[in-house]
Amino acid sequence: MNIKQAGEAAGLPAKTIRYYEEVGLIRPLRGANGYRHFRESDVHKLGFLGRARALGFTIEDCRLLLSLYEDKTRASSEVKAIASRHLAQISHKIAELRAMEATLSHLVSCCAGDARPDCPILGDLAPPPNQPA
């Protein structure tokens, strides 16, 4: 199987697959013409990687998860630790974004959005005037 078919089977663009090989996540065979040859197991790994990436795991986490996936003697606690850490980061990011969203939606709703220059959004971004003691 060449790179394009492998990509279609795994739902990943060829560029991404080449990148995954470059960083050592997969090691497809090579034909005499230099073309990469993907076995079922490679496509399987690519599918794994695609799903892990879709859940937001970094490439390094994917590397760890993949090695645990292939280690049949792993402890599930190791997997859980990685996922929990990642989950915490996602939750943290959501909290940040929700704070931004709250501020912005308030400002947007307060802005007339007409031809006049008065604008609470800019008013909020502007630094406060010097406050003498």
Q: Which is nearer to its own copies, 30 or 93 (CB)?
A: 93
Residue among 39, 50, 41 nearest 11 (CA): 50
Binding of its own copies by 69 (CB under 8 A): yes
Binding residues vs DNA (CB under 7 A): 2-5, 13-16, 18-20, 31-36, 53, 58-60
Tell me how many degrees the CA angle 96-97-101 measures, rounded to the nearest 5: 125
Between CA 13 and CA 115 the distance in angstroms is 46
Options 26, 36, 83, 133; binder of its own copies; rule CB under 8 A: 83
Binding of its own copies by 127 (CB under 8 A): yes
List the single partner that 14 binds among its own copies, DNA, none, CB under 5 to 8 Å by kind.
DNA
Binding of its own copies by 26 (CB under 8 A): no
We find the least distance from the C-beta atom of residue 18 to DNA, in angstroms, to be 6
Binding of its own copies by 77 (CB under 8 A): yes
What tokens appear for 49 in the block?
Answer: 């990687």
Q: Which is nearer to DNA, 94 or 110 (CB)?
A: 94
**CB-CB contact of 19 with 26 (8 Å):** no
We find the least distance from the C-beta atom of residue 19 to DNA, in angstroms, to be 5
Write the DSSP assignment of 42-74 as a string of letters: HHHHHHHHHHHHHTT--HHHHHHHHHHHH-TT-
Q: Which is nearer to DNA, 30 or 98 (CB)?
A: 30
**CB-CB contact of 2 with 38 (8 Å):** yes
Binding of its own copies by 29 (CB under 8 A): no
